[in-house]
């Protein structure tokens, strides 16, 4: 199910589209599978998390804000749509880590030292 098969305004991770798309069965005449809004970014992010956890040490990831919000949600075992609760500012620092061996958000929207 490639992303390109869907019009831009049907993508659940585009700004302002998540709530209307995830609750509807059709988008501009295009039927979508029931799990599609959570599946596309979730699968990609889960692969990144799996690879990052293999390293012994720090890993730096750079991406656009919407995918980073999904990354934070999946890191702490929320659904991909849980990323909507992580507001992310431009040019900020976020650190994901562990608290007592459980995945945790250590820093979110932290300032970058200049």
pLDDT recorded at residue 92: 92
Q: What span, in angstroms and rounded, lies between the C-alpha atoms of 12 and 25?
A: 12
More confident residue, 1 or 110: 110
Q: Is the pLDDT at 7 greater than 60, yes or no?
A: no
* pTM (predicted TM-score): 0.66
Alpha-carbon distance 52 to 4, whole Å? 27
pLDDT digits (tens, 9 = 90+) for 25-55: 445 555 555 555 555 788 889 999 999 999 9
Copy the structure tokens of residue 52.
């990052």
Measured at the alpha carbon of residue 34, what is the angle toward residues 86 and 7, in degrees to the nearest 5? 75
DSSP designation for 17: T
- SS3 percent helix, strand, coil of the chain, rounded to 5, is 40, 20, 40
Domains annotated for the chain, with CATH where assigned, are 3-110 (3.40.50.1240)
Given this model, what pLDDT does residue 41 score? Answer: 83
């Amino acid at each position: 199910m490639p992303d390109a098969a869907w019009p831009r305004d049907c993508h659940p991770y585009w700004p302002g589209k998540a709530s209307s798309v995830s609750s509807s069965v059709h988008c501009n005449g295009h039927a979508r599978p029931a799990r599609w809004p959570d599946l596309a970014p979730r699968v990609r992010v889960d692969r990144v998390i799996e690879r990052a956890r293999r390293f012994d040490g720090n890993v730096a990831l750079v991406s656009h804000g919407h995918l980073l919000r999904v990354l934070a949600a999946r890191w702490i075992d929320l659904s991909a749509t849980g990323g909507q609760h992580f507001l992310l500012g431009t040019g900020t620092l976020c650190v994901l880590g562990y608290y007592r061996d459980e995945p945790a958000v250590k820093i979110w929207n932290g300032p970058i030292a200049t």
